[in-house]
Structure 1
Amino acid sequence: MVAMGSAACRIFLFACIFFLFLAVGCAPDRSSAPPSFGFEIHHRFSDRLRRWAKSSSRDLPGGWPEKGTAEYYAVLAGHDRVHRGRALAEAAAELTFSGGNETTRINSLGFLHYASVSLGTPNVTFLVALDTGSNLFWVPCDCSSCAPRIIEGSGLVSVLNIFSPSLSSTSQTVPCSSALCSSKGQKCSVRDNPCHYTVEYVSADTSSSGFLLKDVLYLTTENGVSKVVKAPVVFGCGKFQTGSFLGDAAPNGLFGLGMDNLSVPSFLSSSGLISNSFSMCFGRDGSGRISFGDQGSSDQQETPFNINQKNSIYNISIIGIKVGSSDTDVSFSALVDSGTSFTYLADPAYTLLSENFNAMAKDQRAETDPDIPFEYCYTISSTKSAAYVPLIILKTQGGSEFPIDYPVVFISNQQQREYMYCLALVKSSKLNIIGENFLTGLRIVFDRDRMILGWKKFNCYDLEESSPLPVNPGNSSAVPPALGPNVYNPEATRNPTNGTQVTVLSPPANYSSSLKGFTSIMLVLLVLPLAFL
């Protein structure tokens, strides 16, 4: 009925009532038995209903579909899909990883957010970087070239697992004949051979290659009674990794969250386990959460995705930038990418935002440092307790405003007692990317059914429509408190019109005085396939 439109629905319901005929008389017999009734039921496209509708001037808009035609069956099938879809939506749960919905930013591994996932039978656990800028989920597997299994100095990771298909009783190789293989554009000479993949990323000389596997991913329900779900997914058995994947970023795997049918959210939704949507929330302290099937809330802000037939990416349109009291119209599209640590803008957007920020900054601008990738940095006295940061808002298509609560990073040189903060924005020659730092402080909803991006200010620990995180927000060992936006309190004193007064905290005694750590960060900012360029 939905396929015919609301007017047709009303016609059909009225006709059903009109044509309910009394089939058996109601006179009681001598035994005083209760009367029996019968009704004549008509198909929605029956000849009688059609004649009645025409005689009553209640014909369907566009006419009635002829029996046996493609249109006739399409309308019937559409009706069935609608009702099955409603039942599916009511039954679908929100899911997250079996180890919990917590995500953690690890500064020493590219400033990306990581989550613990379990694969195979028996299950093997991997710490994977979450990347909305790519589609393929891959892990190191029977490695010929992978990151060292022991990562030193990460502060969180010591031993990394490697997957082996021969040790999993549920593992299956995806053959060349599979439709999933043809969607990757691979050419196979033998249909039963494994489907090989190669993905090259923007980070210098960074790639992953191997073959595709099908196995189970362990998830757990978040709403209602908690139970483990074994979800069949396809992922890459990454035999060869290069570049940043050898240690600087995602050394234990990359979890692609893109729109392609090869991504995990696509598998989960197509199998009916979740609604075709998911959310991520990155907290100011470096902890966060991820939830599959989360469709957001009615009070969130939204903007539509730009549909690109070539690239299955989350791309939105920006129509203006507000910096403090400055409000300027500027049009560009940008990729929303959790796999890029910081935000990249090309001109004119980069210069517009940066120069307006600089004009409103209250602190002295620092000299350019080749070891720091950010152009606009400002010195702070060690005795100063707060710094003024202009409020930044991206105006999106449709009118919703995207607030940037996390625009700066703080850097300290403890030996010289020098402090500075930088606008965490990098100039790009081509791509516009809203990176992880500009997503922080918001619950971001990737609704792939409605094709919209949703967001709402969120602290990632509220119980609203989700389970709490098993973490202590005030003590995240993964995030050194002297480098990164967590060293200030964005909620300290807020001026809703022009900017934010932020509290500057002193760095810990064991913090490294070197600023050269940003050199390695630059190598892993873009965990994004080259195919998107």
Structure 2
Amino acid sequence: MAILSISYQTHNSLYVSLLLTLILFLVSQSQRCYGSSSFGFDIHHRFSDPVKGILGIDNIPDKGSREYYVAMAHRDRVFRGRRLADGGDVDQKLLTFSPDNTTYQISLFGYLHFANVSVGTPASSYLVALDTGSDLFWLPCNCTKCVHGIQLSTGQKIAFNIYDNKESSTSKNVACNSSLCEQKTQCSSSSGGTCPYQVEYLSENTSTTGFLVEDVLHLITDNDDQTQHANPLITFGCGQVQTGAFLDGAAPNGLFGLGMSDVSVPSILAKQGLTSNSFSMCFAADGLGRITFGDNNSSLDQGKTPFNIRPSHSTYNITVTQIIVGGNSADLEFNAIFDTGTSFTYLNNPAYKQITQSFDSKIKLQRHSFSNSDDLPFEYCYDLRTNQTIEVPNINLTMKGGDNYFVMDPIITSGGGNNGVLCLAVLKSNNVNIIGQNFMTGYRIVFDRENMTLGWKESNCYDDELSSLPVNRSHAPAVSPAMAVNPEIQSNPSNGPQRLPSSHSFKKEPALAFTVAIILLLAIFLA
């Protein structure tokens, strides 16, 4: 009996030891999963009404017009010039459309997506461009050469917020011995000096130069029923000198880099333990959407594929293994960059030839005959007629790992009546394959840098529990002369002053609840 008693006690101690070990492991995992923290901002397309009002954009082609698509394709080549270079003049600053000779500034077609962020003490708001193709977050700061405002054709002036590190009580310069200082060789001393920075972008002659600072980024999170504020210290660029497209208004109030390097905001938030090292971007069909830091949604119905690790690049590069168009499949492996800052999708041969010719063989429409005055940028276009029923071939990309990426809306349409045109919105690239924003519409795209995977899940960007994005927007009226614009404010002529949506966050299931459930189950089992 004594032996049995010892055996029971030994096993009981073993169970207790295992239980404690499991509890410690689960608690550590719950901390590693960063609890329920996630932070989000509403995303606005450059030609959404709030952004047009703030940036003073009042002379652009109508969305859906032939001129609009020509200009957006040209904008892609300007802002991704080295990637999509076709031997042409990617720095062309003006676009002239025949036959009416209407001329537009290419600067009107700058970065595609913007978010309103709040920085410093006291807090000041900035409408910053979002770019997954670069790393550093920078703001116009103590400017010696940057855009202070925009003069409208009406003579009115819109002034932009300029960050001043001396006016913020929480700001301090980043020293040269910081791990985030990438230009130590340019420092006046190895430790005591302020770290300089210079970033050159893919559009020719476009750069930002200044020094690194550290200040608070104001975020809002929802923890169960309680809204909480977080004010992490983040490192960003005090941009004193901007050149090229930045002086033309491409990102007049700063740029928010979302690349993989340690200096990007997602990396800093993860390092501080505020979020997982992941973020998602969602694009609705109406051009609105959101970005959520800490979103690494790993639900079973989410597709995913691994990133191709390229240490010297910040781009989100993946591998496509198969193209399926209208049920016809072709095994064709190629690498491509998921780039939210590119309007359309650009492919090299043989991928371009495979997808376009397969689409052409499946669609039951008459191929459009281009004239000298018809300069649509797409090669595969088709004539439309009034009240015509159209069946568009499905396009599916099989990703490395086997998951399927179904393209929700691969076409554009322009014109009306019997003069309408439908085009496959894929263009030929002579350099690199880019999956552009048009192929991401209808998905929440998850850039999971912790697990080095790209994820996607179908979403209309409005149905999430905490989403408060309005479906309709009103036009912003003219801004009074020399009035400083706060990106949080948008006026509505009929309803009076109205706020542009501020930071939003979206709940994740708390890891702690999972831990408690496991402990209870184990306690019942051991009892």
Q: TM-score, normalised by structure 1?
A: 0.68
Distance 2:327 2:18 in 1: 63
The offset of 1:43, in angstroms, is 12
Kindly report the root-mean-square deviation, in angstroms, between the aligned alpha carbons of the 2 structures: 3.3
Aligned partner of 1:379 in structure 2 is 383
The offset of 1:137, in angstroms, is 0.9
Are the counterparts in 2 of residues 102 and 469 from structure 1 also a CA contact under 8 Å?
A: no
Relative contact order (C-alpha < 8 Å, sep 6+): which is higher?
2
Aligned partner of 1:116 in structure 2 is 116
Aligned to 1:456, what secondary structure does the other structure show? strand
The 5 Å alignment of 1:338-417 reads 338-361=340-363, 362-367=365-370, 371-381=375-385, 383-384=386-387, 387-412=390-415
Are the counterparts in 2 of residues 133 and 336 from structure 1 also a CA contact under 8 Å?
A: no
The 5 Å alignment of 1:189-204 reads 189-190=188-189, 191-204=191-204
2:333 corresponds to 1:331: yes
The 5 Å alignment of 1:177-216 reads 177-182=177-182, 186-190=185-189, 191-216=191-216
Aligned to 1:161, what secondary structure does the other structure show? coil
Distance 2:9 2:264 in 1: 47
Are the counterparts in 2 of residues 151 and 247 from structure 1 also a CA contact under 8 Å?
A: no
Task: Spell out, residue by residue over 1:415-438, the C-alpha distance to the aligned partner (whole angstroms, 9 max, x if none).
Answer: x98433332222222211111111
Distance 1:422 1:185 in 2: 49
The residue identity in structure 2 corresponding to 1:304 is P
Alignment CA distance shift 1:380-1:370 (3 Å): closer
Alignment CA distance shift 1:181-1:406 (3 Å): same
Distance 1:187 1:15 in 2: 69
The farther-off stretch of 270-279 and 136-145 is 136-145
The residue identity in structure 2 corresponding to 1:461 is Y
The farther-off stretch of 222-231 and 107-116 is 107-116
Task: Spell out, residue by residue over 1:263-297, the C-alpha distance to the aligned partner (whole angstroms, 9 max, x if none).
Answer: 10111111011122111100000010111111213
Aligned partner of 1:51 in structure 2 is none
The offset of 1:301, in angstroms, is 0.8
Distance 2:263 2:350 in 1: 35
Are the counterparts in 2 of residues 446 and 454 from structure 1 also a CA contact under 8 Å?
A: yes
Alignment CA distance shift 1:354-1:175 (3 Å): same
Alignment CA distance shift 1:410-1:274 (3 Å): same
Distance 1:113 1:396 in 2: 26
Aligned to 2:356, what secondary structure does the other structure show? helix
Aligned to 1:167, what secondary structure does the other structure show? coil
Aligned partner of 2:46 in structure 1 is 106
The offset of 1:376, in angstroms, is 2.6
Aligned partner of 1:161 in structure 2 is 161
Aligned partner of 2:321 in structure 1 is 319
Are the counterparts in 2 of residues 109 and 250 from structure 1 also a CA contact under 8 Å?
A: no
The offset of 1:142, in angstroms, is 1.8
Aligned partner of 1:468 in structure 2 is 467
Aligned partner of 2:301 in structure 1 is 299
The residue identity in structure 2 corresponding to 1:87 is Q
The residue identity in structure 2 corresponding to 1:245 is F
Q: Larger Rg: 1 or 2?
A: 1
Distance 1:94 1:358 in 2: 44
Figure out how many residues of one structure are paired with residues of the other and give that number: 402
Identity %: 43
Task: Spell out, residue by residue over 1:46-68, the C-alpha distance to the aligned partner (whole angstroms, 9 max, x if none).
Answer: xxxxxxxxxxxxxxxxxxxxxxx
The 5 Å alignment of 1:399-438 reads 399-412=402-415, 418-438=419-439
The residue identity in structure 1 corresponding to 2:383 is T
Aligned to 1:165, what secondary structure does the other structure show? coil
Aligned to 1:251, what secondary structure does the other structure show? coil
The residue identity in structure 2 corresponding to 1:307 is I
Alignment CA distance shift 1:378-1:17 (3 Å): farther
Aligned to 1:359, what secondary structure does the other structure show? helix
Q: TM-score, normalised by structure 2?
A: 0.69
Task: Spell out, residue by residue over 1:351-406, the C-alpha distance to the aligned partner (whole angstroms, 9 max, x if none).
Answer: 2212222333324324166854333333334x346544322111100111111113
Aligned partner of 1:506 in structure 2 is none
Distance 1:395 1:476 in 2: 40
The residue identity in structure 2 corresponding to 1:292 is F
The residue identity in structure 2 corresponding to 1:170 is T
The residue identity in structure 2 corresponding to 1:94 is S
